Amino acid sequence: MSLNAATVQLSEAHSPEHAASTTNSFTFQDLPLAELSAEMRARIGEFRFPSWFGSLGFCESYSYPPVEKVAFCTNPSGEIQDVIFFNERKWAGLFKEMEIVGPVNPESELLLKLRTKHQPDLFKLSLQSASTFPEKINDSILIEVRRVNEDYRIDLPSTPEEYLQQLGKQTRKHLPYYLRRLQREAQKNFIIRAATGERISRQSFIDLLELNQLRMRSKGRETLWTRETKLHRWPLIQKAVLLFGLELGGKLVGSSLSYLHGSEAFLITIAHDPQYDRWNLGNLCLWQTIEHLIHIDCRVFHLLWGTSFYKAQFGGQLAPIYRAIYARNTRVASAWRLWSLLKIEAAASLPQKITRRLRGYWVPIREYLSDGRRGS
């Protein structure tokens, strides 16, 4: 995705804030996503991003709040060569921070151009698949690499039969049994449905999220799908998402939602009605989703957001997601390390603060109770 430094050199911009700059016939531009023309938005949408993370769909329509800005460069033929989505903010109210969203070569020409123009004190590379990064890039110093989330990657074979053979002996035995039992007990009331894009009804989307909420509550947790994220992501659901569902008596009882990106799919959420746990609907739904993805020639399935036993059980290989942070100079690096230390110490002292606060409330309560007993 990166430009070849030997053939492409991007120079300092001498134009206004959002105007394009051109060097050796390569054009560089960065601007708020809201200011993209319809034609340029379509072209960036068609660009072959190496990962869903860092793509237009993810940054604009999935990430919430959405990513604010985009930088890109085009060759003499007008073809887009590289794209970076980013945010800018103030860190600690003092330093200028730039966050790059999605996998990127930290030494790419486009990122160098962007940093040279905006001069951030800190630049953060989020949602990175790499675990190692250069210790120094120009005048910037690497100050942190942290594992922030997990992806489990399943390389899908060409047939469902091959996939089943890849699984462990017990899983290979139980999945077909679960399906036969459900078909036998539910009989004609049981239907498997798959829908993509505009064929996904708003009601089926709502039903899936309600199942997700039921599943989370049964575990004593809250769903991350707020009213705002539902509204924000609905347009994305209608573009390139697979909704796979198990229906019982016309009611959705198990479902999965996966984003389709080229020949890869990314599991966004999966849920089932807890009252049907005896039928192992969660495992059945995931297995049938995988078989459907194989039938539509999907080659990789990503089980996103966190570790779970079932992800390894279904053949997922752990692929951690990292964040790297660079500081512009040693002064900024020292300030960031001090801030991090103070934050850790504050978090460590929180239980003691809560105890002291509760003790402060307990003293007057105890005195009140004592007075009450004396009065009686």
Convert the pLDDT of each residue in 16-73 to its tens digit: 344 455 555 678 989 999 998 999 898 998 888 888 998 999 999 999 999 999 999 8
pLDDT at 361: 44
Distances (CA, A) of 341 to 57, 335, 345, 348, 349: 36, 10, 6, 11, 12
> What Å distances lie between residue 43 and 49, 78, 83, CA to CA?
12, 10, 11
What is the pLDDT, as a whole number, of residue 350? 41
pLDDT reading at 15 higher than 60? no
Give the pLDDT of residue 113: 92
Q: Is the pLDDT of residue 236 over 90?
A: no
Say which CATH class 21-148+322-346 falls into: alpha beta
pLDDT at 345: 53
Is 153's pLDDT higher than 90? yes
pLDDT value at residue 344? 55
For residues 201-211, average pLDDT: 88
Question: Does 152 score more than 90 pLDDT?
Answer: yes
CATH 3.40.630.30 domain residues, the chain: 157-298
Give the tens place of pLDDT for each residue, 289-342.
999 999 999 999 999 988 888 899 999 999 999 999 999 988 888 888 888 788
- The token duo for 160 is 């469902």
Q: Is the pLDDT of residue 11 over 70?
A: no
Tell me which CATH code domain 157-298 carries.
3.40.630.30
Mean pLDDT of the chain: 82
What pLDDT band is residue 91 in, cutting at 50, 70 and 90? confident
What tokens were used for 123?
Answer: 């630049």
Average pLDDT on 120-124 reads 93
Percent with pLDDT over 70 in the chain: 84
pTM: 0.79
pLDDT of residue 298: 94
- Mean pLDDT value of segment 119-135: 92
The mean per-residue pLDDT over the stretch 354-360 comes to 46
- pLDDT confidence band for 6 (50 / 70 / 90): very low
Checking if the pLDDT of 92 tops 80, the result is no
* 54-63, 190-199, 326-335, 364-373: least confidently modelled range: 364-373
**Mean pLDDT along residues 146-155:** 94
Higher pLDDT, 355 or 174: 174
